Amino acid sequence: MIQWDSSWPELAEERERQHLFSQLEDRFGIPRSLFDGYLLFKREKSWSLVRNSSHIVAAAQFKVSMVGIRAFQKVGAYIKPTTRMLQIFGGAATRARIVLDENQLERLLGGERLCMDLDLDRGYVILTLGKHMILGAGFYARGELHSQIPRKELKIRMIRMPLE
């Protein structure tokens, strides 16, 4: 039994952990087993993910301000995988992955909703620029896609800006 300093977020219960990772598997096809080597912590409405290690026992004694990366966030009735979570693990997704071109991305970042007829239930999708560059999350509902990518971080002008 690890003695965590009180500053640590709460270690997620197994049931909660299974629920969150099953959600990724069911929606995106990201295998649950991918997260076997990780610890999941909960603080208020968000969950953070950190690589498990034999050193965690030693680190548990320290006062911490952050643990790993923020992996999930509760948004209304949904639990949203964060941009970084999808950027890191989205490469393993086999579905609910939408490939955008630069025009579509610019429109999404401008706040537009894109009309798309996809064989997908309402919920989060993974947005990529071209086949390989995973940008983060979008939300698909009733034939419309809108962006969940933080617009402060990925700005329209970054998509086609002159580089020099």
Partner 1 sequence: MDAIFEEYRAIIPDFSGFQGSLQRPMCTHLRINRLRIEPRSLLDRLERKGVKLERSSKIDDSLFFAPGLTSPGNLPEYFSGYLHPQALTSCLAAIALDPAPESFVLDLCAAPGGKTSHVAQLMGNTGLIIANELYPGRHAGLGHTLSRLGVLNTIVTGYQAQQFPMKQRFDYVLADVPCSGEGRFRKIGENGFYQTRKSKLKLPDLQKKILLRGFDLLKEDGVLLYATCTYNPDENESVIQHLLTERDARLLPVVTGVSCEPGLTKWRGRRYDVQIRKSARFYPHRLDSVGFFMARIGRRT
- Residue 151 CA to residue 108 CA, distance in Å, equals 10
Cβ-based neighbours of 121, under 8 Å, separated by 6 or more: none
| Residue from 64, 92, 118, 141 binding partner 1 (CB under 8 A) | 64
Cα-based distances in Å from 25 to 70, 86, 146: 18, 12, 22
Residue (51 or 141) nearer to partner 1, CB: 51
What tokens appear for 14 in the block? 């197994």
Told to check if 19 binds partner 1 by CB under 8 A, we report no
Q: In this chain, which of 50, 97, 113, 120 binds partner 1, going by CB under 8 A?
A: 50
Which residue's CB is nearer to partner 1, number 116 or number 154? Answer: 154
Instruction: Give the HSE-up count for residue 97: Cα atoms under 13 Å, Cβ half-sphere.
Output: 23
Binding status of residue 131 toward partner 1 by CB under 8 A:
no
Tell which one of 2, 62, 74, 141 touches partner 1 (CB under 8 A): 62
Of residues 87-116, which lie at the interface with partner 1 (CB under 8 A)? Answer: 87-88
Does 78 bind partner 1 (CB under 8 A)? Our answer is no
Closest CB to partner 1 among residues 3, 122 = 3
Token readout for 78 is: 């949904």
The single residue among 31, 38, 78, 113 that binds partner 1, judged by CB under 8 A, is 38
* Six token digits for residue 45: 């409405």
CA distances from 68 to 40, 48, 65, 117, 133 (A): 9, 6, 10, 37, 22
**Binding-site ranges for partner 1 (CB under 8 A):** 38, 49-51, 53-56, 58-59, 61-70, 84, 87-88, 129, 132-135, 153-155, 157-159, 161, 163-164
